[in-house]
Each structure stands twice: as structure tokens, then as C-alpha cells.
A and B are shown apart, each in its own frame.
Chain A
């Protein structure tokens, strides 16, 4: 009786970057032809045609920062220190929600290594006039930068309150800095 043979597609497992793989080293003449490499090295072995995502850093704080007034100027409300793994491109997404009193407005800024690289729009969160009845607002900033391997980047999100009255304040919450590194 003839056996029936069934070919099935094999499900490819999700791999971890720490997984070790056996490779067969055809340049080795001795008994140690089989060697092990991790998944990252194995990927590096193949020439990649374009950038790929290497590492994502999440810096997020849900709780409120505290009251900021116009007199405080620009205040650092979130900091993320990220080291470039191999050099490539950082994509930085940062933002915050905020709650105001009176007619306060808030503006976000993004600093890289103490230098301002981005600012947001002046976000209105007027609870008294102009037909805007909510005391809440939010904004997000986007910045991309070429990175150098092993270099540390200090990313800071800052907020400034602008309004006519010194007495009105803003309180940022759900502040975040997400950094994604793409490697060539």
C-alpha cells in the first residue's frame, strides 16, 4: 500500500534577538564547523537593503507634573536619555496633555542635548471665552536626527505657559518621549 505524503507549510516561530542559531562554517577545516550566532548577528550577516527598526525607547509618565505659570518660563517636563546602538536615524515623538486654569495656553518644545530643535504651536485650552469650553489641551512634536554609534542623546520635553494673565496656570500630564532607532 502506497503511503500518502502531505506537504504542509511550516509556521515560522517568532524569534527573540537572544536566540542562538547554529551556522555551518564551510571555511573551517577542523571539527568545529558548527558555530553559534545570535539572531541580531545573523541578520547583520545578510545585507539589508534599507533601514530597519533596531530599538524603541519609551519614556512616559501618566501622573500630572504640577502647576506651571507664565513666570516659570520654559520648564522641563520629561527627560529621556537614549544611547544610539549602531548609528542610524532617531525618530523622536514627544508630547503631553495638559489642563489649564482661566485662559492659559501652553506651548511645547523639544531639546536635544540642551539645544532646542522643535517647538509646537500655542495650544489654546480656554475655559472662559472664545467659545472653547474645555480646560484641556494636548500637542505632539516630531523630530528625526542622524545618530552616531554609542553616542548618548539627552532628549527633553519642555512646556511654557503663555497667556495675558500671570495668574493662570497649566498642569501637564501624560507626558511622553518615544525614541525609535532605524539602522542602515
Chain B
């Protein structure tokens, strides 16, 4: 009888559907029914909670690098729309919104960023100055940021709008690298 050869091959691990039942050994159950079945979805939750409290994240990136045309100051009291991001909550937990823009000013004025949620103003930035004639500040470029947190409902869509206005009669600004990032964590 010849030598028995033992060949071990790595197998492709099959994909598991959320509804698939997997066997688990319940060590907290001292009865004879320790071997139980759990759905893959529930087992996923087990692993998330084991490794990190903020394990799963749903991230959306909405970013436009191109520059707008000149937006004039005192826009009749209205705001200019810079960026829009429509996000659907996956987990119904907390969503972190981070939005911002770079700007190029003309004259001596300020810009201000505003964040709207479903047409309602929810956050306003500081005023960022641009100045080409005075105070020793020779740059016309700058950037601003807004951060906002929202308690979400799973499956609900939220529309975030980044808007701006320039402050100062006759002043104007162009906007580029405008972004809205949303991060929702499952914890």
C-alpha cells in the first residue's frame, strides 16, 4: 500500500445572505439545547459590537471642485446655493455633516457659510474676510467649514444644502472645492 497523500486546499469562502441560518454554540445555556441557529444578519451585529462601538459607517461624499462665477454681495437678502447632498439614513442613529468651501474674494468683504436641512437653516459659520486693500492682509483667498450633528430615522432621506452670502455692497466672491460629507455610524 502506497503513502497516503493528504492535500489541503484553501476553499473560496462562500457569500452568506443575511437570512441564512448559521449554527452557534450558546455557552450561556446549560441545557441540552446549546447548539442554536442565528441569522447571518444577527451574527453581523455580534461582530460589530465585539470589535468597535462605531463599526459600521455609511459615508457620502458630495464635492465639486469647479469654481462658480462671481456671486455679488447683498444678494437681495437671499443666499447662493453652493452644494446639495441628499442622504438616506441607513442606521437611524446619528449623522455627522461636515461641509465647507474655498473662496476667492474681490474687494474687501466677508463671506459666510450656511447649512440648511430640508430648507431649514440649522448652522451658520463665522464670517470669513477677504481683503485686497487694507489691514496688511494681501490675500483674497480663504475657506470656511460647518459641522452639524443630526439624530436620524432609519430609511428617511435628508436634503442638506450648503449656501453662502457675501457681505459688503459691491463685493463679490467665487467659490470652489465645495463639499458636503455625511457620516452615519451604527452604534
B67 surroundings in chain A (CB, below 8 A): none
B16/A165 in contact, CB under 8 A: no
B139/A162 in contact, CB under 8 A: yes
A142/B98 in contact, CB under 8 A: yes
A117 contact from B50, B177, B186, Cβ within 8 A: B177
* Bound CA span A43–B52, Å: 12
Binds B, one of A49-57, A60-68, A74-82, A149-157: A49-57
A30 surroundings in chain B (CB, below 8 A): 6
B56/A52 in contact, CB under 8 A: yes
A144 contact from B27, B58, B181, Cβ within 8 A: B181
A12 contact from B44, B50, B137, B186, Cβ within 8 A: B50
B181/A50 in contact, CB under 8 A: no
A45/B61 in contact, CB under 8 A: no
A52/B57 in contact, CB under 8 A: yes
Q: Does B55 have its Cβ within 8 Å of any Cβ on chain A?
A: yes
* Bound CA span A39–B52, Å: 13
Query: Could you tell me how many residues of chain B have their Cβ less than 8 Å away from some Cβ of chain A?
Result: 53
A49/B6 in contact, CB under 8 A: no
B102/A119 in contact, CB under 8 A: yes
Binds A, one of B74-82, B142-150, B156-164, B166-174: B142-150
Q: Does A134 have its Cβ within 8 Å of any Cβ on chain B?
A: no
Q: Contacts A15-B51, A51-B57 hold; do A164 and B16 have CB atoms under 8 A apart? A: no
B11/A182 in contact, CB under 8 A: no
B87 to chain A, nearest CB (A): 12
A48/B44 in contact, CB under 8 A: yes
* Bound CA span A91–B63, Å: 14
Instruction: Summarize B's interface: helix, strand, loop or mixed.
Output: mixed
Q: Does A18 have its Cβ within 8 Å of any Cβ on chain B?
A: no
A125 surroundings in chain B (CB, below 8 A): none
Which of under 10, 10 to 19, 20 to 34, or 35 or more describes the interface residues of A?
35 or more
* Bound CA span A139–B58, Å: 27
* Bound CA span A53–B128, Å: 33
B128/A121 in contact, CB under 8 A: yes
B51 surroundings in chain A (CB, below 8 A): 15, 39, 43
B98 surroundings in chain A (CB, below 8 A): 142
* Bound CA span A142–B59, Å: 14
Q: Does A2 have its Cβ within 8 Å of any Cβ on chain B?
A: no
B6/A163 in contact, CB under 8 A: no
B6 surroundings in chain A (CB, below 8 A): 30, 32
B144 surroundings in chain A (CB, below 8 A): 121
A8 to chain B, nearest CB (A): 6
Identify which of residues 145-184 in chain A touch chain B, using a CB-to-CB cut-off of 8 Å: 146, 162-165, 182
Nearest residue, chain B, Cβ from A140: B145
* Bound CA span A165–B135, Å: 11
The interface of chain A, by Cβ under 8 A from chain B, is: 5, 7-10, 12, 14-15, 25, 27-28, 30, 32, 39, 41-53, 89, 91, 103, 105, 107, 117-122, 124, 130, 142, 144, 146, 162-165, 182
4 nearest CB pairs, A to B: A164-B136, A121-B142, A50-B58, A51-B57
A-B contact pairs, 20 of them (CB 8 A): A5-B31, A9-B28, A12-B49, A15-B50, A25-B11, A28-B11, A43-B51, A47-B44, A49-B44, A49-B90, A50-B57, A52-B55, A119-B142, A120-B142, A120-B143, A142-B181, A162-B138, A163-B137, A163-B138, A182-B57
